């Protein structure tokens, strides 16, 4: 596509790496060629960079689609998701999920961006609700303080919670910060 058609929603491919265009600054001397100062986010590693283009330059547009998928099950180091519309299954390596994997519960619906059949990013709902399965998880690094203690969730994740949270309680977790938000239900 022509650089003039690029806008903030465009995704482009540079040397095989997909970038999301985060910002376009358009500068043009009245009679001269236009300059496009692009702010780009690498869709593989989320790093940002700047790149300048001029009138007439061409860029390679890439189609990145987003769809809702349901988490099915874990298979070794891979997590399997199913597209809710096409029922197509995608296997996502643990590395791509990072710490998000610890809050994945079977059946959870997430947003997955896919480029040419390859999963680029998995976005969890901002908040998930999970059952505490072990009231006091033992970890080597974290210490129990008066303000918080570590518990294990049904998904295997370890979370710092206030001391009053007990085994069997349901807690709300902020998946953007991996932190406890509140207790939504307590075991009867």
Q: Which is nearer to another protein, 26 or 73 (CB)?
A: 26
The stretch among 19-27, 62-70, 84-92, 142-150 that binds another protein (CB under 8 A) is: 19-27
Which of 17, 27, 136, 184 contacts another protein by CB under 8 A?
A: 27
Q: How far apart are CA 133 and CA 163, in angstroms?
A: 15
31 binds another protein (CB under 8 A): yes
Q: Between 21 and 130, whose beta carbon lies closer to another protein?
A: 21
Shortest Cβ 121–another protein spacing (Å):
27
25 lies in the site for another protein, by CB under 8 A:
yes
The Cα–Cα gap between 24 and 53 comes to 10
- 34: contact with another protein by CB under 8 A: yes
Supply the minimum distance, in Å, between the C-beta of residue 59 and another protein: 14
Of 23-31, 91-99, 110-118, 172-180: span binding another protein (CB under 8 A): 23-31
8 binds another protein, rule: CB under 8 A: no
Residue corresponding to tokens 């007439």: 56
Residue 179 and residue 161 in contact, taking contact as beta carbons nearer than 8 Å? no
Cα R_g (the chain), whole angstroms = 22
Rounded CA gap, 53 and 46, in Å? 21
| Residue 73 is a binding residue for another protein (CB under 8 A) | no
Q: What is the DSSP string of 169-187?
A: -EEEEETTTTEEEEEEE--
Tell me the closest approach of the beta carbon of residue 11 to another protein, in angstroms: 20
- What distance in Å separates the CA atoms of residue 19 and residue 147, rounded to the nearest whole number? 42
* Smallest distance from another protein to CB 34, Å: 7
Q: Using DSSP, state whether 61 is helix, strand or coil.
A: strand
Q: From 173, 55, 8, 165, select the one nearest 103 (Cα to Cα).
A: 173
Q: Which is nearer to another protein, 24 or 133 (CB)?
A: 24
The C-alpha atoms of residue 78 and residue 17 are separated, in whole angstroms, by 23
| Rounded Cα distance, 170 and 182, in Å | 9
Q: Which is nearer to another protein, 49 or 54 (CB)?
A: 54
Residues forming contacts to another protein in the complex (CB under 8 A) are 4-5, 24-35, 54-56
């Amino acid at each position: 596509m022509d650089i003039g058609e690029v806008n903030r929603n465009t995704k482009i491919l540079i040397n095989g790496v997909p970038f999301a265009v985060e910002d376009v600054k358009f500068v043009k001397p009245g009679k001269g060629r236009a300059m496009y100062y692009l702010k780009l986010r690498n869709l593989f590693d989320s790093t940002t960079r700047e790149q300048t283009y001029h009138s007439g330059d061409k860029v390679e547009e890439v189609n990145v689609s987003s769809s809702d998928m349901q988490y099915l099950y874990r298979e070794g180091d891979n997590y399997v998701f199913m597209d809710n519309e096409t029922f197509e299954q995608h296997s996502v390596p643990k590395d791509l999920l990072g710490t998000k994997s610890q809050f994945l519960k079977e059946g959870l619906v997430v947003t997955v961006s896919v480029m040419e059949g390859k999963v680029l990013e998995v976005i969890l709902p901002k908040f998930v609700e999970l059952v505490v399965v072990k009231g006091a998880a033992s970890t080597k690094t974290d210490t129990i303080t008066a303000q918080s203690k570590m518990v294990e969730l049904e998904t295997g994740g370890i979370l710092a919670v206030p001391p009053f949270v007990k085994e069997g309680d349901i807690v709300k977790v902020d998946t953007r910060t991996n932190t406890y938000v509140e207790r939504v239900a307590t075991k009867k």
